[in-house]
Chains A and B, each alone.
Chain A
Amino acid sequence: MKLPAPSLILLLLLTICFSLATYLQPQTMKWGERAQADSMMKALLGDGRRIFANHFFVKADIYFHSGYYPSIFDQGHREESHSRHMVEGHDDHDEEEHEKAMDIGQPKDWIDRFGRQFYSSSHSHLDKPGQAREILPWLKLSAELDPQRVDTYTVAAYWLRSKLGKPAEAEDFLREGLRANPNSYEILYELGLLYYENHHDLVRSVNLWELALRRWNDQDKAGKKPLEISYNEITTRLAQVEEEQGNLRQALYYRELEKKASPIPDAVQKQIDELKQRLASKTVSQSLK
């Protein structure tokens, strides 16, 4: 039997490949999450990308400490939440605790002592103006890999809006996070802060915080154990704004809520008492008029 020309065989094989591809491609779309991936990372790594997302989030924390970071051998005793440390101001006690958690201990021998000259072995933060931008690439990458990790959006937005003067970029990133996590009270709270502190748009910020409070309550009812500290932050902000606006009744309502989750309920109670007094005197003055 005489075989056709090799170029014809090649053409036939290419046609078969193409035909099969057109048939198989829609089938493979149903096979799993990876096939329906909307990003290259998702397609390449599947759910495994979440491990890398965590790695890059930690990397941002390492950058925040200018390369100083306890190794896995040192950090068994660490309890602090990385994201909270990256965004919040600390009082002396917090800073002392943080120093303790980040401590890599005294050198154990001469090799250890000598070796510390060749890597970042002293604790510091990115405090100089604009330096904080260096953590952003890792947070962006972390968000790409795991869009459901809410901390990534809130931490990045905090630095963008409060230290780098980029509220527009912060808002874009938060909205990206909100699209991926529509029920996140943390993102809504951060978005509210952005409107309050950067855009000075009181109405929008109150709306966002109220929505955040509703989302928090929904999650609480669903037994998802939302963070108490977030509840405290949201209610505190709402109470403050209502007080500033002169809506004392509403402020009182939020202070009562705040007291439930506050680590210092006595201080909140004092504020409640003051508010009640102001409300009473306001009522008296109104009735006199």
Chain B
Amino acid sequence: MNAVFALSNVVIKELYRRKDFYVLFILTVLITLVMASASLFNDDKIVRYLKEICLLLIWISALAMALGTASRQIPAERENRTIFPLLAKPVTRWHVVLGKFLGCWLACGLALVVFYVFLGLVSASREHTWPVLNYFQAFWLQWIFLAVVIAIVLWGSIIFAAPSSNATICLVFVLGILIVGRYLNQIALQQSEPMRSIIYGIYFIIPHLEFFDVRDLVVHDRGLVGWGACVLVTLYGAAYTLFFLFATWLSFRRKALN
């Protein structure tokens, strides 16, 4: 397990050496503050639009970081040929996959904490309340979402030729699920057989990433998600993450490194 933590440590250090997080965070802060400075009918208590914009930027930034970081991990090791000395040590390929995943996930988690603290500050400056549990749930579910995404991207980095194509394909896949995943059952019901069964099959197979998106509830003060549902959805996310990590290992195990 030490090897896994050592590998993840390297990935976390890489994230804060690179400028991605800083640029995305500063952009989020700037856009949110510009929107906050807009005078809307001389009412300084309007806050929901601000929370929505800030959360959207957080989602975009986190997704960009997760895709960018995870997609280049294994290809970079292969390209720089650092994978050979790495595997020459008592480190298995499963350790590499797990270490890379853990590093990306923890790095994204650290970045998310900073983003959510900023969201809390912006919101509190107008609402004068601290719905900490709501923010914690939103943060936690988004972090689980990122775990699934990172696992998918790691698998993609073994299958696809270049990090750019992998990131693009994974982005389309993730956005597709976020936008239409919830409605695939309704689309299926409007089709005739065999399309109905095929679409319904896809609906049940895909990871329903939209479960992890509780922005609506945070923006509109709809209260907390039940803690039981939170645990279940965490298990759901963990199951898919493990599935994709295992698939990554299976593909990586037989992959020629040179």
Q: Are A137 and B216 in contact (CB under 8 A)?
A: no
For residue A74, which residues in chain B have a CB less than 8 angstroms away from its CB? 186
Establish whether residues B48 and A134, one from each chain, have CB atoms under 8 Å apart when the complex forms: yes
- The B-contacting residues of A in range 118-154, CB under 8 angstroms, are 118-120, 130, 133-134, 136-138, 140
Give bound CA distance, A71 to B187, whole Å. 12
Which residues, 39 to 56 on B, are CB-close (under 8 Å) to A?
40-43, 45-49
Q: Is A254 close to B, CB under 8 A?
A: no
In the complex formed, the residue of A with least CB distance to B214 is A118
> From residue B195, how far is it (CB to closest CB) to chain A in Å?
16
Residue in B187, B189, B212, B216 whose beta carbon sits within 8 Å of that of A120 in the complex: B216
**Distance A111 CA – B38 CA, assembled complex (angstroms):** 40
Asked whether A169 lies within 8 Å of B220 as measured between CB atoms, the reply is no
CB distance from B196 to the nearest CB of A (A): 12
Of B8-16, B71-79, B224-232, B249-257, the stretch lying at the interface with chain A is B224-232
State whether B232 touches A114 (Cβ < 8 A): yes
**In the complex, what residues of A have CB within 8 A of residue B208's CB?**
111, 115
Which residues on the A side are within 8 Å of B25 (C-beta)? none
Contact B49 A138 (CB under 8 A): yes
Q: A130 to B211, alpha carbons, bound, how many Å?
A: 31
B41 / chain A contacts, CB cutoff of 8 Å: 133, 136, 140, 156, 160, 164, 166, 169, 173
Interface mask (B205-237 → A, CB under 8 Å = 1, otherwise 0)? 000101111101101111001100100110000
Residues on the B chain within 8 Å of A136, using CB: 40-41, 43, 46
Q: Which residues of A contact B229 (CB under 8 A)?
A: 114, 117-118
* A117-B225 CB under 8 A given contacts A108-B189, A169-B41: yes
Given contacts A108-B185, A136-B41, 9 further A-B contacts (CB under 8 A): A67-B219, A108-B186, A112-B185, A118-B217, A118-B225, A130-B45, A140-B40, A160-B41, A173-B41
Whether A133 contacts B46 in the complex (CB less than 8 A), given A66-B222, A73-B187, A173-B41, comes out as yes
**B-side binding surface: helix, strand, loop or mixed?**
helix
Known: A114-B211, A130-B45. A120 touches B40 (CB 8 A): no
A156, B40: Cα distance in complex, Å: 11
Q: How large is the interface on A (under 10, 10 to 19, 20 to 34, 35 or more residues)?
A: 20 to 34
Which of B43, B183, B185, B222 lies in contact with A133, CB distance below 8 A? Answer: B43
Bound-state CA distance A120–B182 (Å) is 13
Cα(A156)–Cα(B41), bound, Å = 10
Complex Cα distance, B216 from A259, in Å, reads 45
10 tightest CB-CB pairs across the interface, nearest first?
A67-B220, A137-B49, A169-B41, A66-B220, A67-B216, A134-B48, A73-B186, A117-B229, A119-B216, A73-B183
Interface centre among A67, A120, A164 (most CB of B within 10 A): A67
Query: Cβ of A185 < 8 Å from any Cβ of B?
Result: no
A158 close to B (CB within 8 Å): no
Contact with B along A25-68 (1 / 0, CB 8 A): 00000000000000000000000000000000000000100110
Residues 159-196 of A, flagged 1 when their CB comes within 8 A of B and 0 if not, give 01000101001000100000000000000000000000
Q: Which residues of A contact B173 (CB under 8 A)?
A: none
A109-B186 Cα distance, complex, nearest whole Å: 10
A138 / chain B contacts, CB cutoff of 8 Å: 49
* Residue in A closest to B219 when the chains form the complex, CB atoms: A67
A-B residue pairs in contact (CB < 8 Å), sample of 12 = A63-B220, A71-B182, A111-B204, A115-B211, A117-B225, A118-B141, A119-B213, A120-B217, A120-B220, A133-B46, A137-B49, A164-B43
Which residue on B lies nearest to A111, using beta carbons?
A: B208
- For A112, the chain B residues whose CB sits under 8 A away are 182, 185
Inter-chain CA distance A164–B46, complex, in Å, is 12
**Chain A, 237-280, contact with B by CB distance < 8 Å: what is the 0/1 string?**
00000000000000000000000000000000000000000000
